[in-house]
Amino acid sequence: MRAEHVRIYKSVHTWTGILCGMALFIAFYAGALTVFKEPLRRWSTPPAALVQPVPMDEAQPLIAQALATTPPAARVTLPLAGDQAIPRLEWQVRAPGADDHDESAARHYTATLGEGGSLQVREQPPSRLVEFIDVLHRVVGLPVDSDPNRWVMGVVSALYFVALVSGVVVLLPSLVKDFFALRVGRNRKRMWLDAHNVVGIVSLPFHVVMALSAVVFAYHDQIYALQDKMIHQGQWSQPSARPQGKPGAAPAHDPADMLRPSQLVQIARQAAPGFEPSALQYTQATGPQPMVRVWGKNPLGVSPRAMGGFAAIDPYSGKLLSADYLSGAQTTPNLFISSFFALHMASFGGTAVLWLYFLLGLAGAWLFYSGNLLWVETRRKAQRKGGAMPVQRRDTALMAAATVGVCIGCVAGISLTLAAAKWLPGRVQDLAAWHVGIYYAVFFACVAWAFARGAARAAAPLLWLAVACTLAIPASSLLGWLAPGAGAWADGGTLAVDLTAIAGALALAWMARATARRVRSGPQDSVWSARAEARESDENPAPALTQ
């Protein structure tokens, strides 16, 4: 390939990466954590909120009473624990016109049986901690999973794909010679570039899947609407022709006549041997179209959602209504479509795949962080004219400060709001609002500090802040074990969360020490040098980020 063409692709790769790099850092870092949603949810759930499982069929009276009184449109869920049930029903009620993806627009209710078998229903706002981290992942750091924010994510993902393609084209001429070459030495920029290239090429299939599937997720409503209009002549959007019942009419079915949970689970297992149920979700139980979704996973199958797949069953007759989304029993066309979701959400292959995606997610976050650092260093090289030591340009200093503030602020904010999950229950009313507030308070404080101090003087202190926030996660569990009366708690079953946080804190501490050495002894014309900032301040009384 001609040299000028390579330069064009290199420019495309650089600027698409710069435009979306920090947003993708947040998406990948938060996404790596959401791979382990359930362990994080268990870690952050107080013991008082846990309910002792009972045999499945003991939940039948609770199901019958609750379904007779809940709103017809509610999807009532019975969580399962293996061959037992959690004797608590859960459902949401959304405001009319609310976005289906915006969990903040939903009111959450639970139902249990009190003494004497009486039904007890109460509104119970969940912490939504894990869901909030997932929202950060799905809409690249924005606070609400709404249509406009998903469209922003779609644009970022499209630019991300362009950056991937252009990066591969740039690397092709030297791929054989430089692949897996990691030249460690005094030339730090060369070493960072080698590491950036190796990580990018090794994880390229993963990144291509993430980029393309994220674009589809962002615009799936528009894609479905176009398919409906062009292929299905508007039939998808037509309401069902089956009778819905008249207002005030007697229920079409009595929930007391439904099959027992164990029978529904058995039907799903017969349809897909190896299927492991995790929840029963009842829809329109008293209406003309009753259905229960038996959710779960098949360790040897592909699941179309992060929480698994489901079998749709008539809860009265036991008829299998649909196995289109049932893990291990899908048709080839449905399996093909589900594979795109599974590849993005790691809903296949078991624990080994979850850890692989976790590591790939962290490596992806580092890829975007290192890309910005390389851009900053490239600007320093470009300014050298063979004469006096150059003063960093405003755009270079601003990009360096933004990279430090946004990336490290994201890490510190997520860590602190995770640690707070051990202390907030019972002390505050709106857990979800507190988790959001803690994250954004830390995030914007880090960004402000980076711009006020400059990248060099802000980087190491912010990294140490991230270390402290991350260590607060296992420290909260330790305090819960040493002093249970303080309000926190410890759970040996979620020890992996604390150990992973300790490993992350050690990695951040190593980065903080390396950054501090770079700031003290690095090249004076680098934006990462405190001596350069001091020299610039002596020459010009303006702040460090201005010329």
Are 410 and 393 contained in the same domain? yes
Range of the domain at 268: 51-126+253-337
Q: Which two tokens stand for residue 407?
A: 């990336």
Q: Which two tokens stand for residue 170?
A: 């740039």
Statement: residue 194 has pLDDT above 90? no
Q: How many domains does the chain have?
A: 3
117 φ, ψ to 5°? 80, 15
pLDDT tens digits along 63-78: 999 998 888 778 899 9
Residue 2 makes CB contacts below 8 A (sequence gap 6+) with none
Model's pTM, two decimal places? 0.86
Of 276 and 530, the structure prediction assigns the larger pLDDT to 276
- By the 8 A CB rule, do 20 and 159 touch? yes
In a domain, 343, yes or no: no
Statement: residue 282 has pLDDT above 90? yes
C-alpha–C-alpha distance, residues 195 and 360, integer Å: 14
In a domain, 395, yes or no: yes
Are 360 and 330 contained in the same domain? no
Are 208 and 222 contained in the same domain? yes
Question: Of 288, 252, 292, nearest to 78 (Cα)?
Answer: 292
C-alpha–C-alpha distance, residues 447 and 428, integer Å: 27
Give how far Cα 299 sits from Cα of 142, 206, 309, Å. Answer: 33, 21, 11
Q: What is the pLDDT of residue 380?
A: 62
Q: Average pLDDT, stretch 219-247?
A: 62
Are 113 and 172 contained in the same domain? no
Statement: residue 225 has pLDDT above 80? no
Are 403 and 512 contained in the same domain? yes
State the DSSP code for 527.
T
Are 211 and 77 contained in the same domain? no
DSSP string of 201-214? HHTHHHHHHHHHHH
C-alpha–C-alpha distance, residues 537 and 527, integer Å: 13
Q: Average pLDDT, stretch 13-41?
A: 91
In a domain, 507, yes or no: yes
State the DSSP code for 447.
H
Are 78 and 147 contained in the same domain? no
Q: Average pLDDT, stretch 420-432?
A: 89
Are 189 and 325 contained in the same domain? no
In a domain, 306, yes or no: yes
Can you list the alpha helix ranges (DSSP code H) found in 1-53? 3-34, 37-43
Are 486 and 415 contained in the same domain? yes
Q: Which two tokens stand for residue 282?
A: 């009842």
pLDDT tens digits along 360-395: 999 999 998 888 887 777 766 655 555 555 566 777
C-alpha–C-alpha distance, residues 40 and 500, integer Å: 11
Of 147 and 316, the structure prediction assigns the larger pLDDT to 316
Question: Of 151, 141, 124, nearest to 214 (Cα)?
Answer: 151
Are 459 and 517 contained in the same domain? yes
C-alpha–C-alpha distance, residues 528 and 376, integer Å: 9
In a domain, 529, yes or no: yes
Statement: residue 50 has pLDDT above 60? yes
Of 96 and 413, the structure prediction assigns the larger pLDDT to 413
Q: With cut-offs at 50, 70 and 90, classify the pLDDT of residue 242.
A: very low
Question: Of 292, 291, 286, nearest to 249 (Cα)?
Answer: 286
C-alpha–C-alpha distance, residues 463 and 412, integer Å: 8
Of 192 and 361, the structure prediction assigns the larger pLDDT to 361
Are 309 and 162 contained in the same domain? no
- Average pLDDT, whole number, for the chain? 83
Are 481 and 407 contained in the same domain? yes
Q: Which two tokens stand for residue 382?
A: 């470009």
Cα-to-chain-centroid distance, residue 38: 12
pLDDT tens digits along 448-484: 999 999 888 999 999 999 999 999 999 999 998 888 7
